[in-house]
């Protein structure tokens, strides 16, 4: 009798632990399919409309010297379907985000699991663990086995110490050098005009990942920075790891790891509308968000505090910043930034400004004018006196901080981002990360993380010139912006075409036309949007300021009307009862059609700005037109080389 019960018990255990099984997961509309194989190793295959996108690609994680994902044994599998609406605190693309997906969760012997999700616009997976105490992660195997030497648009990094400000190199996957690696997101040009973008989401207490050429032909593999062991700090801002540990992270054994996601699109414009990173992010962690106010900012650093027509010497002083506050108030801008120089970078004392700045008076004056102050800091200066500094900022009445020069995404630094977000929220401070890694979902849990850099923005024109150009400008909406808001800092009023352009640190000019700059306020997503040029230059451009004063930074609805990666993009966005439409082109002039059928019934006024007849000779040339339109109209528009077009419809 005892032998009988023992046999029954063994059979039950064998039934619970499955070896050599396959699982299939389809998206709600059956657009995408994930085929999971559990044999000698755990792999997944991805199909889009029954065509293979990824050949079987390995998933594993090495914990405490043991590789999980090798010889996997399934203990339990379960599926679920979700149909929900996310209402983000900051409406970066739209007020409501539809979140529909099917999910497969596999739990394996060894107290780990993998969750797969299939969306109609992409797929994702994440590893989970249910282990006691702290665990040490030595490696994670992330593989994208395309089976075809696709072309990819790659932001090649020069190592794990990077600010993610990279131009895209369009090349074959196999052409990636053995020692080269790519930041994320990366765009892969699939067959039949389809595209895939790879990135990650819900990154907490764990390093970000990069891509390198895989060991399997026509593949890419993930690589992650080890935990920093030794550093060198040659100046006030660069803290560079010189030696790393043999592990990636030490972390809680009961946790979920970041989502590894791939967006798959049939049309280029789908990439611009995609919100998969947000959908995969952890939900809101703040109880009170009423104080989080999006808006526009008068920025000092790009224009080197160069103002004219005043009776005081401009620079890092109280009079200059009162002038910026007056300008902001006049044009209904919500904030002014005090960038580098307001504190002594030799002492990194964030509590005592330089003698020429009366911070209490500026905060009082700004409050009187309904203009908030945002303070720039290096991350190391902030970290060294974090709590006293945040207490002082709150005491002054500062509304936000711009934290700069992290240039890392190892486990320590990723956790630092969350710490700043959490403590910033406790002090009611917005956070704008510069010198940062790509957005990876933090903004949904902490919407006070209102924007971040990680983009080759307008500041490049102060020194580098040709790298931030109209070609790049129509690549980033499809790749970088897919990850989340980007602080490109547009708004240059000095504009030039290639032949009459030069980099100029104190009086920079942008590449492309004036309308190219104006259109960025509709095309580029950032709930905190800079006006980068000098107030004196804006005062000379009242027609442009009439647009910049009213253009929103958050949106109820977004519609990509037409787009082609690296060539052009045309977007309509709604705020309240008004619509804004913007278009950007690369160095090719082109004609586009704006179909106004998205408008409701009735007659509207359109206030549009178009490249002037001589914009290809003098980039600042533009023409403003006001007229009546209806939803039946189709507007023919012309964009000059490096040009743009923008309109307000009300």
Catalytic residues: 404, 459
Q: Per DSSP, what are the bridge partners of residue 265?
A: 195
Question: CA-to-CA distance for 208 and 76, rounded, in angstroms?
Answer: 29
Neighbours of 87 (CB within 10 A): 10
Separation CA 222–CA 570 (nearest Å): 34
Helix (H, G, I), strand (E, B) or coil at 606: strand
Helix 318-330, helix 359-368: angle, nearest 10: 10
Helix (H) and strand (E) counts for the chain? 14, 38
- Distance between CA atoms of residues 530 and 378, nearest Å: 19
Tell me the β-bridge partners of 103.
Answer: 80, 117
| Helix 386-396 vs helix 411-426: crossing angle, to nearest 10 | 30
Q: How far is residue 225's CA from residue 210's CA, in Å, rounded to a whole number?
A: 9
Q: Which two tokens stand for residue 526?
A: 């950032």
Give how far the C-alpha of residue 373 lies from the chain's centroid of Cα atoms, to the nearest Å.
23
Task: Check: CB of residue 54 under 8 Å from CB of residue 40.
Answer: no
45's enclosing H/E stretch is strand 42-48
Yes or no: say if 338 and 357 are a contact pair by the CB < 8 Å rule: yes
What are the DSSP calls for 553-601, one per residue? SS-SEEEEEEEETTTEEEEEEEETTEEEEEEEE-SS-EEEEEEGGGS-S
Phi, psi of 561 (to 5 degrees): -80, -35
Q: How far apart are CA 6 and CA 3, in angstroms?
A: 5
Continuous segment of H or E residues that includes residue 537 = helix 535-539
Residue 263: cis peptide before it, omega within 30 degrees of 0: no
Distance between first and last Cα of the chain? 84
């Amino acid at each position: 009798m005892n032998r009988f019960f023992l046999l029954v018990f063994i059979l039950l255990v064998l039934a619970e632990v499955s070896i050599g099984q396959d699982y299939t997961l389809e998206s709600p509309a059956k657009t995408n399919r994930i085929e999971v194989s559990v044999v000698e190793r755990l792999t997944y295959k991805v199909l889009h409309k029954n065509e293979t996108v990824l050949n079987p690609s390995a998933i594993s994680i090495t914990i405490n010297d043991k590789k999980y994902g090798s010889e996997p044994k399934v203990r339990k599998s379960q599926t679920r379907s979700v149909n929900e609406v996310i209402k983000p605190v900051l409406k970066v693309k739209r007020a409501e985000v539809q979140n529909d997906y099917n999910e497969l969760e596999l739990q394996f012997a060894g107290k780990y699991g993998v969750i797969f999700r299939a969306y109609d616009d992409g797929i994702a997976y994440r590893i989970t663990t249910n282990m006691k105490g702290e665990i040490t992660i030595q490696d994670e195997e992330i593989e994208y086995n395309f089976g075809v030497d696709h072309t990819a648009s790659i932001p090649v990094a020069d190592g794990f110490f990077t600010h993610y400000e990279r131009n895209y190199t369009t090349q074959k996957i196999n052409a990636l050098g053995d020692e080269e690696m790519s930041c994320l997101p990366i765009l892969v040009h699939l067959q039949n005009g389809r595209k895939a973008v790879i990135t990650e989401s819900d990154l907490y207490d764990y390093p970000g990942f990069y891509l390198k050429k895989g060991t399997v032909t026509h593949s890419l593999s993930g690589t992650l920075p080890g935990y920093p062991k030794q550093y060198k700090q040659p100046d006030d801002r660069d803290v560079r790891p010189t030696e790393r540990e043999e592990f990636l992270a030490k972390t809680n054994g009961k946790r979920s790891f970041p989502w590894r996601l791939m967006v798959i699109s049939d049309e280029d414009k789908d990439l611009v509308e995609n919100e998969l990173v947000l959908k995969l992010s952890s939900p809101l962690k703040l109880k009170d968000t009423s104080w989080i106010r999006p808006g526009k900012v008068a920025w000092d650093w790009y224009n080197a505090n160069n103002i004219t027509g005043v009776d005081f010497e401009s620079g890092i002083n109280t009079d200059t910043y009162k002038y910026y506050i007056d300008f902001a108030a006049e044009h209904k801008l919500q904030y002014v930034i005090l960038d580098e120089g307001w504190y002594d970078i030799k002492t990194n004392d964030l509590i005592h400004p330089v003698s020429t700045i009366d911070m209490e008076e500026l905060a009082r004056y700004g409050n009187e004018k309904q203009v908030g102050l945002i303070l720039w800091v290096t991350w190391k200066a902030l970290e060294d006196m974090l709590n006293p500094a945040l207490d002082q900022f709150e005491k002054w009445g500062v509304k936000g901080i711009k934290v700069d020069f992290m240039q890392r995404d190892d486990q320590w630094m990723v956790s630092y981002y969350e710490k700043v977000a959490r403590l910033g929220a406790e002090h009611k401070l917005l956070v704008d990360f510069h010198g940062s890694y790509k957005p990876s979902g933090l903004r949904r849990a902490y919407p006070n993380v209102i924007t971040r850099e990680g983009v080759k923005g307008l500041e490049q024109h102060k020194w580098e010139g040709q790298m931030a150009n109209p070609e790049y400008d129509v690549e980033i909406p499809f790749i970088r912006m897919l990850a989340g808001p980007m602080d490109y800092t547009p708004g240059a009023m000095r504009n030039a075409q290639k032949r009459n352009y030069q980099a100029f640190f104190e009086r920079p000019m942008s590449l492309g036309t004036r309308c190219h700059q104006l259109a960025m306020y509709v095309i580029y997503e950032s709930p905190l949007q800079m006006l980068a040029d000098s107030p004196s230059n804006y005062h000379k451009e009242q027609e442009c300021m009439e647009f910049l004063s009213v253009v929103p930074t958050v949106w109820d609805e977004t519609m990509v009307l037409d787009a082609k990666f690296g060539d052009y993009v045309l977007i309509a966005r709604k705020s309240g009862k008004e619509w804004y439409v913007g278009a950007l082109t690369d160095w090719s002039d082109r004609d586009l059609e704006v179909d106004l059928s998205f408008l409701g019934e009735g007659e509207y006024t359109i206030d549009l700005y178009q490249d002037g007849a001589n914009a290809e000779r003098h980039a600042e040339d533009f023409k403003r037109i006001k007229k009546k339109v209806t939803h039946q109209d189709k507007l023919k528009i012309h964009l000059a080389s490096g040009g743009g077009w923008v309109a307000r419809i009300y």
